[in-house]
Structure 1
């Protein structure tokens, strides 16, 4: 059971980190969309007389900002990250408690572990994969680890990061694409 608690704690630490990273990226995306909208609005008001083009661009930016804002408020990344942090701290306390206890307390510890698991949402499988790969490559003594990453773990991790960074690249470049499309004659006048 010690091993389950240890790995669960490591996965929950990664879940907190993932959620905080998502929160940070969402904040940056919202700031980016807002800055681009302000910049384009000033530029359009000063240099473009075509009101249809202005309407289309502003409507698109409004939709971008609305979508990011709604997604961010519904995802509650920071709140969920705080719950994971509380949970992995409690798991650490349970881990230390088990280390210094006798076999008679095993049932009590099992019930406490179950209770702690129920207090927070479950982490994503990628959080466990990241924990497994990270711990394997950073362990001073690999003999102390009970799990070893396989080829599929590395592949999953590569796909996760590839998907994440591609999505971020698309989301951050979307306003620039809209500006390009609208100002180089691709939108009807």
Structure 2
């Protein structure tokens, strides 16, 4: 395994890490918008039906708790700084691209390049295993050419995904989808539960 291959795969994994963080930033903003809208809509609904409702105190308390939850979540999401972290990772993989081209030179000083590589990696957080697995699978699927029967890899790649990589990604995407669906349906579930308890 050549040093240039390590740099190349690290760069690919960092690209996936940036995409993950930007996706998290987008989903969190949509969720906050949805939760804010749900809180306001429920307040208006129960303001008009407060005299008709058999248990207006419960409805009011539940939606006040929900509003406090939205406030806490917004503070928590701001603390995660998804976009700033994604920006640092982007700078890292752009710098790694230059290092990759330097490492392809046969006269390159590998000790110096390795030191530079370590410095670049120290600028931002590391990518997750999931980012690396995703980069591995994407490169395997999108690389043109046939799979070498001896190595199991496509030409130009020094490694390829195994069933563990594919199953880990399937599990992660399933878990993420379930979590997002639960978060998006939470206001609807609260509203339905309160209406059922009347």
TM range (shorter): over 0.9
TM-score, normalised by the number of residues in structure 1: 0.93
2:174 counterpart of 1:162: yes
Instruction: State the 1:71 CA deviation.
Output: 2.0
Instruction: State the 1:48 CA deviation.
Output: 2.2
The CA distance in 2 between the partners of 1:95 and 1:169, in whole Å, is 40
The CA distance in 2 between the partners of 1:140 and 1:42, in whole Å, is 57
The CA distance in 1 between the partners of 2:106 and 2:84, in whole Å, is 33
CA offset digits 1:5-33 (Å, max 9, x no partner) = 00000000000000000010000000000
Note the aligned Cα RMSD (angstroms): 1.3
The CA distance in 2 between the partners of 1:3 and 1:143, in whole Å, is 13
C-alpha contact 2:16 2:135 (8 A) present in aligned 1: yes
- The within-5 A match list for 1:53-132 is 53-103=58-108, 105-132=109-136
CA offset digits 1:100-157 (Å, max 9, x no partner) = 3514x21111110010111111111000000000000000142100111000101000
2:147 counterpart of 1:143: no
C-alpha contact 1:57 1:179 (8 A) present in aligned 2: no
Higher helix share: 1
C-alpha contact 1:26 1:68 (8 A) present in aligned 2: no
Mark the runs of 5 or more structure 1 residues left unpaired by the alignment.
none
Higher relative contact order at CA 8 Å, sep ≥6: structure 1 or structure 2?
1
Greater shift, 142-151 or 53-62, is seen at: 53-62
- Number of residue pairs matched? 185
Partner of 1:6: 8
Mark the runs of 5 or more structure 2 residues left unpaired by the alignment.
146-153
